[in-house]
Amino acid sequence: MTRDKYKNLGTRTVEFYGHGIKNLQDTEVKGRLIVIEGPDASGRSTQIQSITTRLEADGHAVLNTGLKRSELVGKGILEAKENFSLGKKTLALYYAADFADQFEYKIIPALQAGYIVLADRYIYTLIARNLARGLDKTWCHNLYGFAIKPDIVFYLDVEPTVLIHRVFQKNSTLDYYESGADMGLSNDMYESFLIYQKRVSQEFYLMQKRYGLIPINGNRSMLEIHNDLQKRIDSFLRRVGHK
C-alpha cells in the first residue's frame, strides 16, 4: 500500500482543520478540492458553470457541490428559514449538518475517486455569517473542525455597493438573511444590506490569512473574472501535476 503512494504522486492523505472525523483520518484522495467563495449575486454560480465546462472539456471528472443541497437537510433549511423562527445558533448548526452530510457523502467519495470537486462555497461563508451574527469565534471555527483543507480557495470580493446592483439585476428584491434583516441592523433594508455585507466581507478579510483564501477582484466583468479564475486554476493543476 505505502509503495503505491510513491508510484502515484497524486495520492495524498486528507488534512483536517481540526479534529476531523475518526473513520476518515487516513483517507487517501486522488482528486482536488477547489472552492469558490463569495456573496450571493457575486457571480459565483456562473463562474462555476463555465469552469466546470472547461475542466470537463479538458477531460477532468468534475463534481459540483454547494450549500443547502444535502439529501438530509437541504430542504429543511429552506423551510425553516421561511418561518423566520430559528435562532442563530440553531441555524448555524443546521447548516453545519447540511454541510457535513454533503461532505461525507459527496465530497470525500468524489475526491477518493479522483474527481475535481468544484465547491460553490464551503465552510468559510458559513463561518463568516455566524461571526457576523456575533457567535463566538472559537465556537464557529471548532464547529467546522471536521472539514478537510481544500487544495485552493478563491474568494470573489465584491464591493457591497456594486453587489447590491447585481442583486437587483438578478432578483429585484433583497433577500431577508442576505441583508442581515434578522439582525436588526437597520429598519431600512437597503441600509441593512450594505452594513451586513460589509461585515461579512470584513470577516472574510480576517479569515484570509488563517485559511489561505485567495481574493479575486469581483467588481470586474464576468468575463474578466472568468479568465482570471480559469488561469489560476489551470496553473494550479499544472503545478500539482494533476492529469
Partner 1 sequence: MEKRGKLIIVEGIDGSGKSTQLHLLEKWLAFKGVNVFKSEWNSSEMVKEITSKGKKKGLLTPTTFSLLHATDFADRYERNISPLLRAGYFVLADRFVYTAFARDIVRGCNPAWVKKVYDFAVKPDVAFYFKVPVDIAVDRILIGRPKLKYYEAGMDMNLSNDPYESYRIFQGRIIEQYDSLAESEGFTIIDGTLNIEEQQNIVRKKIMPLLENLKPTRIRTRR
By the criterion CB under 8 A, which residues form the site for partner 1? 18-23, 71-73, 76, 80, 83, 85-90, 92-94, 96-97, 100-101, 104-105, 136, 138-139, 142-143, 145-146
Least distance (Å) from partner 1 to the CB of residue 144? 10
Residue type, 56: E
The C-alpha cell that represents 212 in the structure block: 489561505
Cα–Cα distance for residue pair 53/85, rounded to 1 Å = 39
Given the complex with partner 1, which of 100 and 117 has the nearer CB atom?
100
Given the complex with partner 1, which of 86 and 189 has the nearer CB atom?
86
Segments in 58-87 forming alpha helices (H): 74-83
Least distance (Å) from partner 1 to the CB of residue 91? 9
Given the complex with partner 1, which of 127 and 216 has the nearer CB atom?
127
Least distance (Å) from partner 1 to the CB of residue 204? 23
Q: HSE (CB half, 13 Å, CA atoms) of 62?
A: 19
Segments in the chain forming alpha helices (H): 2-7, 44-57, 74-83, 88-102, 108-112, 123-132, 137-143, 160-170, 189-211, 222-239
Transcribe 118-136 into DSSP letters. Answer: EEES-HHHHHHHHHHTT--
Least distance (Å) from partner 1 to the CB of residue 58? 33
Cα–Cα distance for residue pair 166/158, rounded to 1 Å = 10
Cα–Cα distance for residue pair 23/210, rounded to 1 Å = 26
Helix (H) or strand (E) holding 62: strand 62-66
The C-alpha cell that represents 198 in the structure block: 460589509
Given the complex with partner 1, which of 104 and 159 has the nearer CB atom?
104
Given the complex with partner 1, which of 102 and 125 has the nearer CB atom?
102
Given the complex with partner 1, which of 108 and 233 has the nearer CB atom?
108
Given the complex with partner 1, which of 176 and 236 has the nearer CB atom?
176
Q: Which residues pair with 190 in a beta bridge?
A: none
The C-alpha cell that represents 10 in the structure block: 497524486
Least distance (Å) from partner 1 to the CB of residue 201? 26
Least distance (Å) from partner 1 to the CB of residue 90? 4
Neighbours of 81 (CB within 10 A): 17
Least distance (Å) from partner 1 to the CB of residue 74? 10
Distance of CA 215 to the CA centre of its chain: 13
